[in-house]
Structure 1
């Protein structure tokens, strides 16, 4: 049966947050909704806690996704969702009261808008213990494509995460689901594609609190993997194919090639052992076999493979990369 709103909540060992996530949705004062918890191989009491809620509330469903990762879990929930609108929520975060109502009103008022997003607060504490900023106006800002896509691609600090967004379900039929070949930044990959191709509204209000804690999968990954390695799969498995398959503006191409070449240099400098770096360089070239890597980039990457010095990497990043990108897209 169709409902107005489907809330998709992937869960991996989130037993301590199940009850809070459930009540966070209830506090939105929305009646026509469903909650889809997608268990992703939890080994704690997550499933047991969700089943307790199932016994009390028929609007809640439990799905099981054996393929590990946020993208497969989110995709399963989106496919099973019966709502006109889709909200993808992380189990350990919190939503500000009435935020979903406000975003739903935007989509109701602007039928040609595919998604709406708001602001987030990052905190090591919950909503009750965190002072909410006062710089929200409640205004709606609608920009044409590819404004938001280029903004997010050029500055990841402006990316606000899935729980800041409310989507029409139909948008996933247009742009596709989360890229399951990406294990990190798959949400950023989708958001940039969304911003490049769809009309999006910004609602100037705080939607959710991102709970920073040491057990968070994202926080663990940030500690363990240098950023250059984290963003590489997103660049070559999402943005590069998008460039090859679509007519993209010059600014998108500049950002794509600059980030690709910068990441290549950083990965080589961060890698120990000359034989390992040479092997890595070959692998990076294979990932870029669909494009022509400029000669200047190839020469300097060879130098960095032999002498992985940060000062040389800075010269490469400040001078060689901008020059090569300019030559590539002129």
Structure 2
């Protein structure tokens, strides 16, 4: 059972709840917490979810709560990132929700800028750009495509959800009502992509703030770094579900791009598996799945011939496909 530091009875609910899942990040957590407490937007509660961290993180969380009344702490048995976010959502009191990963940090004005954006446009969600930095805070080459300033319907945002800036949970401000019936899938990697299509379907309008207000720290030993295992095919499963969501909502003009995204996920993960794992039933199933997605896409829209050929080759001759990709570099 969760051990939650409760807010005092009768206390006015904050406007914003910022949820930070915490696990084995004792070297990064103080900077993360400090960046949140330094926000120019001050009407918030910070919910630190200690997900059974075995290091000094639980003590750091409790120390932060003693220093600042806006900090609430949940101590729970380790359940993974989704379970920690869900625990934060269950405890949140704010009308707006934000997420920050505990090894990252944010600009002082982040939530003020995002809140002003939703207030001035009537949007249900605001998303900002982010900067990729190393552990020393030095800029890294960006791995994502930025979006320009604009207002989008939920349907239009859904069509762009193969892009990282849309997928990610932590560069956004959400109207709390979005999560009334939604929670992150527990036990899965790439939980952001699993949920973002459903988020898009819950909103009328989103607004893009094309300014890097979030600092994503690239480090070794994080959930998404290191050698690939069969679990990493969760990304391909999430991409497949995204493709199905587009079909269900008749967003056919985005299907070819989504099919290419599915194939790319499977290809990237498969080529980083050990020879033994490449022979595993799940690997074969993912190879078959990506070809089925590309083939089915042709029922709804035009698919580039090169994409279909690559998909066919990956399904039927994966070793040859991998060799050709490695040769290409």
Task: Work out whether the TM-score is over 0.5.
Answer: yes
Q: List aligned pairs for 1:59-208, cutoff 5 A.
A: 59-111=70-122, 113-125=123-135, 140-153=149-162, 155-156=163-164, 158-159=165-166, 161-173=168-180, 176-183=182-189, 185-195=190-200, 198=203, 199-208=205-214
Structure 2 Cα separation of the partners of residues 8 and 228 of structure 1: 25
Residue 231 (1) aligns with residue 213 (2): no
Structure 2 unaligned blocks of 5 or more: 1-11, 143-147, 298-307
TM-score w.r.t. the length of structure 1 is 0.74
Structure 2 Cα separation of the partners of residues 214 and 143 of structure 1: 35
Structure 1 Cα separation of the partners of residues 191 and 270 of structure 2: 23
Structure 2 Cα separation of the partners of residues 274 and 83 of structure 1: 45
Change (3 A) 1:93 1:312: closer
Structure 1 unaligned blocks of 5 or more: 134-138, 315-330
Of the structure 1 ranges 82-91 and 19-28, higher mean CA displacement relative to structure 2 is found in: 19-28
Deviations 1:48-87 (A, max 9, x none): 1111122222221111342522111111101210001111
Where 2:224 maps in the other structure, the secondary structure is helix
Partner residue of 2:216?
A: 210
Q: What's the Cα RMSD here?
A: 3.8
Deviation at 1:97, TM superposition (A): 1.6
- Residue pair 1:84, 1:169 contacting (<8 A) in 2 also: yes
Higher helix share: 1
Deviation at 1:46, TM superposition (A): 0.3
Change (3 A) 1:268 1:3: closer
TM-score w.r.t. the length of structure 2 is 0.74
Change (3 A) 1:126 1:104: farther
Deviations 1:228-278 (A, max 9, x none): 835223134x4256357x323113433444444565566666663699366
Structure 1 Cα separation of the partners of residues 206 and 168 of structure 2: 15
- Residue pair 2:22, 2:53 contacting (<8 A) in 1 also: yes
- Residue pair 1:150, 1:195 contacting (<8 A) in 2 also: no
Structure 1 Cα separation of the partners of residues 211 and 191 of structure 2: 24
Where 1:6 maps in the other structure, the secondary structure is strand
